Amino acid sequence: MKNIFTLNHIFAGIIAGVVLAVVTFLIGQWVFGLLSSTPYWLSNPKAPYIIAFIPNLILFRVFMVNKKMDKTGKGILLVTFLGILAVFFFI
């Protein structure tokens, strides 16, 4: 059985991108909930969603440059691009 980090397939990248974005968003919401007052730069309603996609860009670079897994990297980039577009158009 192959590990998701060894599959060079676009669906593996989509799954990894979605999971990482959701986990980062949930951790961010938990941390922002612990803050007694919200900083000025986080008062924009789009900020937590945009911050949630930053780790995807790091993961994209790891898969494209370090591991040479271009199909997985394209899946991660697809999720990141569509997610950012959704944030800008719908929130």
Give me 2's structure tokens.
């192959």
| DSSP summary character for residue 65 | I
Confidence of residue 4 (pLDDT cuts 50, 70, 90): low
What confidence tens digit (pLDDT) does each residue in 35-86 have?
A: 777 777 777 888 888 989 999 999 999 888 888 888 999 999 999 999 999 9
In angstroms, the CA 24 to CA 11 distance is: 20
Q: Pick the closest to residue 55 from 89, 83, 88, 33 (CA basis).
A: 83
For residues 51 and 23, the answer to whether their CB atoms sit within 8 Å is no
Q: Residue 14: what pLDDT?
A: 92
Q: Residue 5: what pLDDT?
A: 64
What confidence tens digit (pLDDT) does each residue in 10-31 have?
A: 998 999 999 999 999 999 888 8
Q: Residue 82: what pLDDT?
A: 94
Whole-model pTM?
Answer: 0.84
